[in-house]
Amino acid sequence: MKTLGIFRHAKSDWNDARLRDFDRPLNKRGRKGAAVMGKHILEHGVGWKRVLASPAVRVTQTIELAGEAAGETPPITWDRRIYLANSAALMDVLREQEGNPASIILIGHNPGLEDLIFDLVPDDGSSPLRDIVEEKFPTAAYAVLQLDIDQWPDIEENCGKLVHLVRPRDLDPTLGPNIED
């Protein structure tokens, strides 16, 4: 059994049209959401053995603020392939992990992260949390999956169960949709 965490970057700023997508920072609500989620992730207590992350600015800032709020930031493996990757590419990144860590948290972007959940968790009506993800996996959302595999190279579609899902608005209503920054 392996544990996979999926953490989407917090809300980014679209105000500077001159910036490349890769270079967009977090906006005010995103900074607050990253901090709230960082504390939750620590309190949830998985104890992530490996952190894999996109090096995009909005992801690096999300991790920095989440780590500050939690009081710790584990070592991070930055992998540019995670930036805007689709589900198949993310599964390839996970399959390549050496050392067989018990848990990995993947920090990146939609639609790839959301699609990864859909590919790993069967659509058989048994997961009300999957139904919530189908509505939307918003910025700074955090999901935990239990994977029925012994080694990361064994990851395949429908091998997972979604056991935990928290969105920023679940912890702080001011971080919900349609709230101005």
Range(s) of the domain holding residue 47: 2-72+84-175
Q: How far apart are CA 8 and CA 74, in angstroms?
A: 17
Strand order in the sheet with 50-53: 76-78, 50-53, 103-108, 2-8, 142-147, 160-166
pLDDT at 54 over 60: yes
Would you say residue 180 lies in a domain?
Answer: no
Please report, for the domain that includes residue 96, its CATH number. 3.40.50.1240
DSSP, collapsed to helix, strand or coil, labels residue 95 as helix
The predicted-structure confidence for 108-153, as pLDDT tens digits, reads as follows: 999 999 999 999 999 998 889 999 999 999 999 999 999 999 999 9
Tell me whether residue 79 is in a domain.
no
Domain total for the chain?
1
Q: Is residue 21 part of a domain?
A: yes
- Both structure tokens of 102: 């018990």
Whether 64 is in a domain gets the answer yes
The H or E element that residue 29 is part of is: helix 28-44
pLDDT digits (tens, 9 = 90+) for 151-161: 999 999 999 99
